[in-house]
Structure 1
């Protein structure tokens, strides 16, 4: 089980193939720069949210492959939620660190549970209503039932989610999500203390200290073979795992990515859901063990396939023995509940078949087959993978970063107080050491906060009879909106036009609209992450991302559904709130033509009809260039609203029907 077999068999051939695979994985999984960017923008957005909210509000943590930096097809978004006024402790002596009058303490009782699982006993007389509803009485104490809590909270975040493991799961616009309502503990689990002693070479001592200080979480699922399955909770090391993945070098991360691809495209290919016994968590665990045991002395591009092979051999060994030790609590055998008996035997035979083929089994990996064949047909081919920055062009990188920042850069100020808290948090972070990606992220976040605050302020004083207060509020709102135009993207100026329209300044609104239309029409402007490469490079190539954002990027318009922007969209926002959608996202050109139509209705009816025609052409004929496919439903709806206002009820009905069809297709 020592040497993987594949033609050519020479050491040089294996190195060439490894380097070719490294290049392929950088393109498929991402270069180290891309991965760092993805992590940084996620980290800073989460930091702003959690630093701003008060102790009575829920904390949020993105986890899983998306947080780790993967953006491959099938990379779902896992999010954990918990109240930080409901901490879990391991023993009663830890109560000294909490205010028992303001916090609902929960005690972990693991004496009757399998390794890695525990019962959660509520110590405080009062707690959140959902906790109270999930209580069961055992051994004279009140315990939180994981099965009851999971059912109660499954659809808290996204309506109509289905229970999947400890999570509420579903699909939004083709992107799978898992949301887990959990509990947090500030202390490292005693059952995982041996992990600290194992960390001699990896991870680094500062990473170990950071992980231990961060504690752990508890997710709502019990052990299938435990005595209290419906009431037990699994100890989750998601935060620790995220820090471990962050501490990997890029070859280690790509090896993990290759294992994930091999699992999906080779091992699980053609199997039914009930037959897919291995998951990506097992792959990650194998990489963790291989790095820590220092079996592979040099994780580098030239050794990539050897690294993969050693990890695959370890997984094969685990399946043969029926034991997959959890990385933090080795006594927790993660195969115990489902990989045993006949299922274990079938899985071993399948994996052993791939093992006997050697590295040639990677030819079944459709994503990367061409990179292997390239070397097989050209054995003397020299691959230069030392400078991975050349693998992805500047424009390709920008085509990912701007849509990525636009999608993730969303925080929702509930009122003016929260808006100011958000801005204060951003102000504090600006003096912290930040990466260039995090600076860009704060720029986008600040723009959204100011947009929201401007309309919140306008709504607060729109009905006041005190002209001075209304005048001051208007000046402040205008100042905030104009400020965003100096550092936001091109389409952010449409918020100014929206504000002018709402405050009946139609001429001023149209002036902003026309100027924005000219800017958006420039051939170098990036829409939906696509752009004319040559024109874009000529216009902003080599400049900072902050400059590119201001001069060459159009982002979607994002409306907080609890804020009234313009009356014509209020019904849509109310329906969205009923569907638990906190934000409305609209393509910028749809907003532009809508506002142009609404303004001209009060000035020039012929030009109003022209604007409506432009909107109709855009919605009817755009093929995803300016109207993202996931936003076609709201675009049809807005077209219908404008047609209804104009009196063309038949056209409006057709647009509404198209909107419903689009929703059903999605």
Structure 2
């Protein structure tokens, strides 16, 4: 079967990615999802940031949801920040990357007597006190496992039981990483802000806003120079900026992103014999690099296969020369040290083959051969809007089973889409989602919400007659 680039674009939009509106509504769903968990009681210890491909707007078969949880009682600043500019109500840390691996940092404790600190986390040195990533992970895994699991299992009641895996609290559909907010953009990433971008794909306002928001710090040491991660380093995460940059992509870039992820999961991995060299994050990084190098006007359906091939060729190049530069800190090589030369050679050759036979390789993937398609309840699928098509599968994945007439839910969602105020839409949808967490009371709450928002006169009459 032969397809043109435009035909491939249409096929992927229809079967996998959806329309531009559907992608937009998926992003809205996770924005609301974050807002819910960033209010008490959920936000008393952590705040939530949905990241990864789902929060970026894709809904690919078999992918889990990435969630970064920030510890609200901790905050990091760059070294030299004055006392007047730090929040001493929180446990304060200072970042110092001078002796750390590229892309990583050490966290120095400002006041070890702050009540949030635990002796088990702290490593004492001649220069001061370090917040050790390894000790923190060990404490989570051993001392606080039952407490943390109880907290997360109660807050995310739509998921299966969680387990701890390194710095993450995970299950089959959810991967949660714990992090600390750093309000300062790291010095090692400053060249990202000023480097030459021939097509000006990022405005100066976009760049400035990202620098001002800072980064996240994740308890994971560098593994590219040693089999064992450095015990005291913290990885600098640009997850917030990455999500914003991807949200600025056009729809062809999103389709190209989906194609790359599908090829990784359904073509490369089955042929890689267990080697986990090429990851989703490396794919994202490659597309971020390529998006700076291709003229924005070139991202069209007619050029989809050409842009896809350029990404594949770049991946092959990185693996051939055994250096994969981080998008924000190019000195950081993201290929793990224990990756064998044979694995890199095989992967590079496989990617070259994909680049030479783009459409043929894509059509060998189950998602594009028709084996995996978006499935909705046939009784309610007729006449669904883009909003419905985007949100309903997410409801089924991240909320409890809804024990109510689907027609009531559809009616409410359609009313949401008819509103003109974005704020009201968000508020109403957020309340709708919150109500779903109380399964037994779902239907009465939905009906009450519907009547109060859209039939206020009826509600007033009922209440005046003593009807609840």
Q: 1:99 to 1:284 in 2, by over 3 A?
A: closer
Matches of 1:177 and 1:45, distance apart in 2: 14
**Number of the residue aligned with 1:268:** 269
Q: 1:182 to 1:52 in 2, by over 3 A?
A: same
Structure having the higher helix fraction is 1
The one-character-per-residue Cα deviations of 1:501-550 (angstroms, maximum 9, x if unpaired) are: xxxxxxx9xx99xxxxxxxxxxxxxxxxxxxxxxxxxxxxxxxxxxxxxx
**Number of the residue aligned with 2:281:** 281
| Counterpart mapping for 1:62-101 below 5 A | 62-100=50-88
| Counterpart mapping for 1:325-340 below 5 A | 325-339=325-339
Matches of 1:436 and 1:319, distance apart in 2: 48
Report if the CA contact (8 A) 2:71-2:180 is conserved. Answer: yes
Unaligned runs of 5+ in 1: 1-6, 9-15, 372-391, 411-430, 455-477, 490-507, 513-666
Which residue, 395, 400, 420 being the options, matches 2:384?
395
Deviation at residue 264 of structure 1 after TM alignment: 0.7
- Scaled by the length of structure 1, the TM-score of the pair is 0.55
Matches of 1:236 and 1:432, distance apart in 2: 36
Report if the CA contact (8 A) 2:106-2:233 is conserved. Answer: yes
Deviation at residue 301 of structure 1 after TM alignment: 1.1
**Number of the residue aligned with 1:348:** 348
Q: 1:228 to 1:311 in 2, by over 3 A?
A: closer
RMSD: 3.7
Please say if 1:126 is aligned against 2:116: no
Deviation at residue 318 of structure 1 after TM alignment: 0.7
Q: 1:362 to 1:407 in 2, by over 3 A?
A: closer
Q: 1:165 to 1:340 in 2, by over 3 A?
A: farther
Matches of 2:42 and 2:184, distance apart in 1: 21
Report if the CA contact (8 A) 2:71-2:178 is conserved. Answer: no
Paired residues in the alignment total 408
Matches of 2:350 and 2:205, distance apart in 1: 41
Name the larger-Rg structure.
Answer: 1
The one-character-per-residue Cα deviations of 1:95-138 (angstroms, maximum 9, x if unpaired) are: 432232x2211111212111101111211123465754222223
Report if the CA contact (8 A) 2:37-2:43 is conserved. Answer: no
Report if the CA contact (8 A) 2:319-2:348 is conserved. Answer: yes
**Number of the residue aligned with 1:486:** 451
Unaligned runs of 5+ in 2: 154-160, 372-380, 401-418, 455-465
**Number of the residue aligned with 1:193:** 190
Matches of 1:234 and 1:191, distance apart in 2: 13
Matches of 1:362 and 1:48, distance apart in 2: 38
| Counterpart mapping for 1:193-592 below 5 A | 193-198=190-195, 200=197, 201-224=200-223, 225=225, 229-273=230-274, 275-294=275-294, 297-339=297-339, 341-369=341-369, 394-395=383-384, 397=386, 398=388, 400-402=390-392, 404-405=394-395, 434=422, 438=426, 440-445=428-433, 483-484=448-449, 486-487=451-452
The one-character-per-residue Cα deviations of 1:265-314 (angstroms, maximum 9, x if unpaired) are: 111124343x1210111111111111112367510111111110111111
Matches of 1:128 and 1:35, distance apart in 2: 44
Report if the CA contact (8 A) 1:188-1:216 is conserved. Answer: yes
**Number of the residue aligned with 2:375:** none
Deviation at residue 232 of structure 1 after TM alignment: 1.0
**Number of the residue aligned with 1:167:** 168
**Number of the residue aligned with 1:631:** none
Report if the CA contact (8 A) 2:217-2:234 is conserved. Answer: yes
Report if the CA contact (8 A) 1:55-1:85 is conserved. Answer: no
Deviation at residue 253 of structure 1 after TM alignment: 0.9
Q: 1:447 to 1:51 in 2, by over 3 A?
A: closer
Q: 1:359 to 1:283 in 2, by over 3 A?
A: same
Report if the CA contact (8 A) 2:313-2:352 is conserved. Answer: no
The one-character-per-residue Cα deviations of 1:54-112 (angstroms, maximum 9, x if unpaired) are: 99642111111221122111221111112233111111325432232x22111112121
**Number of the residue aligned with 1:148:** 135
Deviation at residue 210 of structure 1 after TM alignment: 2.4
